[in-house]
Structure 1
């Protein structure tokens, strides 16, 4: 759809025969293949515009319909082309919900619109990477200082965008703590969120380290390269420990082995972080 829009908007007389344009040509049988290009004259562009409008339900020259799926459905045949996804404005939360939302039992969570959360009534936020760990949050050995936190599932795809939208509007005085897997991908998730003031990391023990996956760590080489070139501040000792261990530890292993979680500030560039539990 974007390719056709650009062809019509710029009145192109040819385009490269890419996989996208080969698909368009098979679908509409318009355009003349020559050499490595697909050629269009003015009449062929007009016919392509008409056929696309009939197939898609909107004028490709005017671009994608704006809005969510309900709004786009008024024009387009495929409502899923909407740029705004169902979860873009929503987050999945539990813990201490801000007023006027009601209190929740520890095993309950609530999907709410970002606009339904009063930022001024939020004391602090904990963002959790994995959904089952979000569900099991109260079973983790987390710091007592997080007892009044709004607990937020980071999510993936659209739901992650909802999380990012909420974090981007939080007042600066509200601390945000991120709880990811203990591996390069998890640390990069924490580093690239719109807001992150602290990281929850496990106190390492021999039993916990034995559960780590060298294969998963090795597969995250792109994330590792990014972290090597990033200013990690107070999280640098965490990354150093990961590189020394060369394993990926999942949140589920931290829970299963009862690992104590420690809150490590991003902004403190002088703190020495206790990584191992020397008492074990």
Structure 2
């Protein structure tokens, strides 16, 4: 199977070429590059090149990426990169940068949406001064159905954001970092260690939305999923959680992962806990 090279490989090549190096550590990135171009030799966990091999590597990399990697990587989005006939994935700006998926009460001149609709909005189109409260929701299906949850009355006028996963989180984080400090940010995630870590690591998150725990809701939870999240649990044990410390203690005592979908299915009331 051909080796697929990406931005991390291009950065490694740029570093070698820009600094006129003839050897590098034979780590996973350089193992990929070595397999792709078959240049250099491995000696004692180092990949070494002759000056001629390095020149050939530069030419082969330029043919592969469409960019002379002795130069810095392009500082633009993928459309601009594509217009310059280079690999568009080298662009540092990802498609989700500067955008959020939003619903609820949209600020400024943005339209009023039906409950089942959301809008992908560029951050530059959001009037930050008009945002009164933000609710960040972890899971997409629960973001879509947020109007069906038993939310506190204080959240009925909130701007609701999908937190996203992977690269999709970037736009949400960028918006939260731009918000005035006085704007309350409420996080609604799964009731488990991973969900609490999400809340604890989002910028400006000051309130956590948690369900009223009943025997029926706890019975829907998964002990297996809770124990799989041991790394997140360790992180929480070593974190300054403030007012959320009681939530973490309660979670550990219950020892189950309760998903947002369970909370909706059982109609569990939700309440805000300040950090």
Instruction: Tell me the C-alpha RMSD between the 2 structures.
Output: 1.4
Q: TM-score, normalised by structure 2?
A: 0.92
1:109-149 deviations in whole A, cap 9, x for unaligned? Answer: 11100111101111111000000110110100010111110
Give the equivalent residue in structure 2 for 1:78. Answer: 87
The structure 2 residue matched to 1:260, chosen from 254, 258, 269, is 269
For the pair 1:197 / 2:206, whether they are aligned, the reply is yes
1:156 CA drift (Å): 1.3
Give the equivalent residue in structure 2 for 1:220. Answer: 229
Give the equivalent residue in structure 1 for 2:97. Answer: 88
For residues 36 and 92 of structure 1, the distance between their equivalents in structure 2, rounded to whole angstroms, comes to: 45
Give the equivalent residue in structure 1 for 2:46. Answer: 37
1:16 CA drift (Å): 3.3
Give the equivalent residue in structure 2 for 1:131. Answer: 140
Give the equivalent residue in structure 2 for 1:232. Answer: 241
For residues 17 and 59 of structure 1, the distance between their equivalents in structure 2, rounded to whole angstroms, comes to: 22
For residues 124 and 143 of structure 2, the distance between their equivalents in structure 1, rounded to whole angstroms, comes to: 22
1:175 CA drift (Å): 0.7
- My pick for the range that moved more, 173-182 or 16-25, is 16-25
1:8-58 deviations in whole A, cap 9, x for unaligned? Answer: 122222223334333323322322344543321222212211221122110
User: In the TM superposition, what are the counterparts of 1:92-131 in structure 2 within 5 Å?
Assistant: 92-131=101-140
Q: Number of paired residues? A: 266
1:170-203 deviations in whole A, cap 9, x for unaligned? Answer: 1111111110000000001001001111110001
Give the equivalent residue in structure 2 for 1:145. Answer: 154
For residues 47 and 132 of structure 2, the distance between their equivalents in structure 1, rounded to whole angstroms, comes to: 59
Alignment CA distance shift 1:36-1:159 (3 Å): closer
Given that 1:58 and 1:75 are in contact with CA atoms closer than 8 Å, whether structure 2 keeps it comes out as no
SS, match of residue 200 in structure 1? strand
For residues 6 and 137 of structure 1, the distance between their equivalents in structure 2, rounded to whole angstroms, comes to: 47
Q: Which runs of 5+ in 2 are unaligned?
A: 1-9
1:76 CA drift (Å): 5.1
- My pick for the range that moved more, 25-34 or 140-149, is 25-34
- My pick for the range that moved more, 32-41 or 42-51, is 32-41
Alignment CA distance shift 1:174-1:34 (3 Å): closer
1:81-111 deviations in whole A, cap 9, x for unaligned? Answer: 3221101110001111111111111111111
- My pick for the range that moved more, 134-143 or 69-78, is 69-78
Q: Which runs of 5+ in 1 are unaligned?
A: 267-280
For residues 147 and 111 of structure 1, the distance between their equivalents in structure 2, rounded to whole angstroms, comes to: 20
Give the equivalent residue in structure 1 for 2:16. Answer: 7
For residues 83 and 233 of structure 1, the distance between their equivalents in structure 2, rounded to whole angstroms, comes to: 36
For residues 244 and 15 of structure 2, the distance between their equivalents in structure 1, rounded to whole angstroms, comes to: 44
Given that 1:95 and 1:148 are in contact with CA atoms closer than 8 Å, whether structure 2 keeps it comes out as yes
Give the equivalent residue in structure 1 for 2:57. Answer: 48
The structure 2 residue matched to 1:246, chosen from 245, 252, 255, is 255
